[in-house]
Amino acid sequence: MTETDTFARARRAMIESQLRTSGVNAEFVLKRMSVVPREKHVPATKQSAAYMDRAIRLDGGALASPLVHGMMLQEAEPQADEHVLIVDNGSGYLPELVGPLVAEMTVISPEDALKSGRKGKGASLLLIDGAVEEVPTKLANRLAEGARIVTGLTTNGVTRIAVGRKSDSGVSLLPVHDIGMPQIAAFDKPKGWSF
């Protein structure tokens, strides 16, 4: 059996034993995750762990577990006419999953998300590939009014997948799945004194 065959078998096992059994059954999600090679998004020394049900630390980021990406994609339901903004956590895996599903995609790093964005029509969907304590205002400003948001959310050290929208009053998020996922430290709330 070749290495290519081994990874293809691992992808099939990921779909059957991790995604389907956890409620990720949307056909578009399973199709994309069956063809995008996770092993290409980690260093060669970590490729054997690419399909395990856990996150993989990378230099300057992380590749979340397959279930995290499956749940996020299923919640997001990207549409063919959408402009999607993705905050990538260093792996490039989520953008590769999403790219063929949408009309336009912009990929930025967490550090770039903290800078002022381009002017013009904002994105209709924001995907943040990691858990955040808050969605920074400068990042929210890159979104169209009513834009959908799918992200990880950290509250008191617990991470969850959350969905929400941008409105005049800011960003509102609702946690929908408790799941362990890498936290993006750049989006931590400023620490201060409290009494």
Q: What integer pLDDT is reported at residue 60 of this predicted model?
A: 87
For residue 29, give Cα distances in angstroms to 48, 180, 187, 188, 190.
23, 20, 27, 29, 35
In sequence order, what DSSP letters do the residues of 142-177 get, joined into one string? TEEEEEEEEEEEEETTEEEEEEEEEETTEEEEEEEE
What domains can be seen in the chain, in order of their start residue? 3-187 (3.40.50.150)
**Burial class of 44 by CB neighbour count within 10 A (0 to 12, 13 to 18, 19+):** exposed
Cα–Cα distance measured from residue 4 to residue 63, given in angstroms and rounded to the nearest whole number: 20
Tens of pLDDT along 1-46?
788 889 999 999 999 999 999 999 999 999 999 999 999 999 999 9
Confidence of residue 118 (pLDDT cuts 50, 70, 90): low
Confidence of residue 90 (pLDDT cuts 50, 70, 90): very high
Residue of 105, 161, 101 whose CA lies nearest to 130: 161
Confidence of residue 52 (pLDDT cuts 50, 70, 90): very high
In three-state secondary structure terms, 88 is coil
Structure-block tokens of residue 175: 């946690």
Q: What integer pLDDT is reported at residue 190 of this predicted model?
A: 81
Q: pTM, whole model, 2 decimals?
A: 0.93
